[in-house]
Structure 1
Amino acid sequence: MLSRDEILRIFSQTGAMLTGHFLLTSGRHSDRYFQCARVLQYPRHAELLCHEMARQWQDEVKTVDTVIGPALGGILVSYEVARALGARNIFAERENGVMTLRRGFNLSPQEKVLVVEDVVTTGGSVREVIDLVRRAGAQVVGASALVDRSNGTVDLGVPFRALLTVPAVSYSPEECPLCRQGIPAVKPGSRDLSDAGGTPRG
């Protein structure tokens, strides 16, 4: 079982905790961003962290048939969690702005599904995947994330577990102090974060 300090050490060592001025998926701005791709580029870290995510459910949920995550952030996480649980793995992706199943993926009625993501802030993408699973008639047993940026306040309507919970420090664009300072906002993944004030936070 990994301690919080051990998890933080892994994120720090891989440069996955960044500081700067970031535009989040929710549209809000923040001075901190967790770039989980920097952790997941190392298979040994991905396996270790996702095994811990899976362990959180093994005692509570006897059976997980399928693990699903939203593209892109949830793809590797869902794969590794599914591997640890001995379950099937699929992912959802947007088509014309709507989360959907493609590539021949499908869900069966009464199939027990765990929804996973890399980082949850407002939980919007996870809720969309939960709705997708329910529309298919499958049963959502819970949701899980590597990082919960809501500090435990997000409500997904299903049991939720996160490996790491951190305070949510974010601002609307109108209230953002970084914008007032004239610091350009960067959408993570759109460019090299090291050129935009994004530095490892250790």
Structure 2
Amino acid sequence: MTEDEILAEFREAEALLEGHFILSSGLRSARYLQCARVLMDPKRASRLAEALAAKIDSSVRDSIQVVVSPAMGGVIIGHEMGRALGKEAMFLERPDGVFHFRRGFALEPGAKVLMVEDIVTTGLSSREAIKAVNDAGGEVVGEVSLIDRGGGHTLGVPYWALMKLEIPTYEADALPPELAAIPAIKPGSRAA
């Protein structure tokens, strides 16, 4: 898929929003990608996952044994990546603020894991999820996301995104005047 085709999928799903948004990281942005909307159409989700799976280097793709994603945002695309790769997909949750496997999910010791996110901005959630996989005895061999927001992140594993979309982010006390004039909303699933 080309970048124009990817953005067309987001626009068609009304998933590219404009306003004043508080991101999961606590940073502020004038644009927000609502991946839940773009993924609510199973055919679209499947197309995006197939395109994302094609980006993974074959040496990594061939080593993947299981797909893991952090809840909430990564659950749907993680499931679709599992389908695209023909691998089981499970997810991590953080009921106490720290990622854990629940619901009977468990990794075989040394399992080679592909971490799947919807959007990566700072990489904090990804690093926390990777640590949870390592703590559970798995080994993350790579990570993928639909969108890399260009947060200058370092994940410590090979990383591929379907698309890089640099959207400026701001600290709450350093907003440009046009953004400060708009009431902020928190559209994601995690408290800032």
Q: Which moved more, 1:56-65 or 1:139-148?
A: 56-65
Q: Distance in 2 between matches of 1:18 and 1:126?
A: 23
Partner of 2:99: 99
Partner of 2:176: 177
Partner of 2:18: 19
Partner of 2:146: 146
Note if contact 2:23-2:188 (Cα within 8 Å) is conserved in structure 1: no
1:165 equivalent to 2:192? Answer no
1:117 equivalent to 2:117? Answer yes
Root-mean-square deviation (Å): 1.6
Q: How does 1:1-202 map to 2 (within 5 A)?
A: 2-57=1-56, 59-61=58-60, 62-150=62-150, 153-177=152-176, 181-189=180-188
Q: Distance in 2 between matches of 1:136 and 1:179?
A: 45
Q: What runs of 5+ residues in structure 2 fail to find an aligned partner?
A: none
Superposed displacement of residue 58, structure 1 = 5.7
For the structure 1 residues 184 and 90, does the alpha-carbon distance in structure 2 shift closer, same or farther, using more than 3 Å as the test? same
Partner of 1:193: none
- The residue type equivalent to 1:95 in the other structure is P
Point out 4+ residue stretches in structure 1 off by more than 3 angstroms: 178-182
Q: Distance in 2 between matches of 1:49 and 1:58?
A: 17
Superposed displacement of residue 178, structure 1 = 5.1
How many percent identity over aligned positions? 46
User: Alignment partner of 1:92: what SS?
Assistant: strand
- The residue type equivalent to 1:71 in the other structure is A
Note if contact 2:147-2:165 (Cα within 8 Å) is conserved in structure 1: yes
1:109-132 Cα shifts (integer Å, max 9, x gaps): 111100011011111111111001
1:147-199 Cα shifts (integer Å, max 9, x gaps): 11016x32101100000101140100000125874321100147xxxxxxxxx
Q: Distance in 2 between matches of 1:82 and 1:58?
A: 16
Q: How many residue pairs are counted as aligned between the two chains?
A: 188
Partner of 1:195: none
Q: Distance in 2 between matches of 1:106 and 1:131?
A: 14
For the structure 1 residues 182 and 116, does the alpha-carbon distance in structure 2 shift closer, same or farther, using more than 3 Å as the test? same
- The residue type equivalent to 2:24 in the other structure is T
